[in-house]
Amino acid sequence: MVVSVIERSVMVANRLGLHARPAAEFVKIASKFEADIKVSRDNMEVNGKSILGVMTLAAECGSTLVLQANGGDAEAAVEELAAMLATDFAEEI
């Protein structure tokens, strides 16, 4: 298995930021992958498969997150997570 580390910066597009419900969605996607996933903002880094960690980043709309995946499916993981963050999955409330 080829192990690769993929890193990418993404701007959070959801107008309400990456709060509870979108964070749950993010973690659900991250957990599909084998790769270890780290998310960081400024000086804080958290486990991308932990909703409590992702929520702790308090990433509001317009903030930039760095995704880092390490493992066989790292590229696909970063691809899908970046696409999710770049979408304004607008919610009603």
Q: How far is CA 81 from CA 14, 31, 59, 76, 93, in A?
A: 13, 11, 14, 9, 23
Q: Are 23 and 54 in contact (CB under 8 A)?
A: yes
Read off the tokens for 31.
């957990």
What values do phi and psi take at 14, rounded to 5?
-60, 130
Task: Indicate the residue among 2 and 51 with the shorter CB distance to other proteins.
Answer: 51
91 interacts with other proteins by CB under 8 A = yes
Q: Does 24 bind other proteins (CB under 8 A)?
A: yes
| 11, 83, 87, 89: which one binds other proteins (CB under 8 A) | 11
Q: Which is nearer to other proteins, 17 or 72 (CB)?
A: 17
What's the CA dihedral at 57, 15, 64, 30 to 10 degrees?
Answer: 60
62 contacts other proteins (rule: CB under 8 A): yes
Q: Is 20 a binder of other proteins (CB under 8 A)?
A: yes
52 binds other proteins (CB under 8 A): yes
At closest approach, how far in Å is the CB of 18 from other proteins? 10
